[in-house]
Structure 1
């Protein structure tokens, strides 16, 4: 596997990490990577609702900021979070962001539909 260009641990800058994580799509990618460990870029981008070129842009921003590590194996690229590197530079930052992301994540379309259906049934039953 070939490692794509990324900053060395000592060169990761807090402002760049926070800038990379300021986008909801990139936060979703990071949350998915935290849950899965390592993901193929195609799988990570599934259901994001963005074009492949836009997803690639987000992956590049995350990699160049030092948030993810990207390795290329033939035509496939695999991403993983740089947990240890980020923890050594900014202790507690990534866990705090991931916790806040899961606590404040907007419900997905299917979750909203289920919630709306349940509310409608409950109000219909109380009439």
Structure 2
């Protein structure tokens, strides 16, 4: 039986360039990715997420990033652990993430 707290993530082979680029095109989502480049963070402690932002907006930002395969969003106790799928993105699209993160 599947754990209801598990969210679907695309496999490395299913990552699509257009979806990854779309996910990275929004300034709020890009800020999250930049923050996660330093290492995994608990969603509640991710300082890239405005604490005054509505919960529905935060959920949508995470959903777009997760469904594009940019981040992994996994249950960790009563919280969620966010991590950047850098290895998967680098394997599918070499240099893309490094170029995006280096851009101003």
Contact 2:10–2:68 under 8 Å retained in 1 = yes
Cα distance in 2, alignment partners of residues 70 and 82 from structure 1: 10
Partner residue in 2 for 1:110? none
SS in 2 for 1:77: strand
Cα distance 1:96–1:71, how it changes in 2: closer, same or farther (>3 A)? Answer: same
Q: Which residue of the partner structure matches residue 94 of structure 1?
A: 97
* Root-mean-square deviation (Å): 1.8
State the TM-score, normalizing by the size of structure 2.
Answer: 0.87
Could you list the runs of 4 or more consecutive aligned residues of structure 1 that deviate by over 3 angstroms after TM superposition? none
Task: Give me the whole-angstrom Cα distance separating, in 2, the residues matched to 1:82 and 1:98.
Answer: 14
- Residue 46 of structure 2 is aligned to residue 44 of structure 1: yes
Q: Could you tell me which residue of structure 2 aligns to residue 30 of structure 1? A: 33
Q: Which structure has greater helix proportion?
A: 1
Which aligned pairs between 1:1-127 and structure 2 lie closer than 5 A? 3-35=6-38, 37-44=39-46, 48=50, 50-100=53-103, 104=104
Q: Residues 16 and 68 of structure 2 are in contact (CA less than 8 Å); yes or no, is this contact kept in structure 1?
A: yes
Number of equivalences: 100
TM-score by length of 1: 0.72
Tell me if structure 1 keeps the 8 A contact 2:35–2:48: no
Task: Say which one has the larger Rg.
Answer: 1
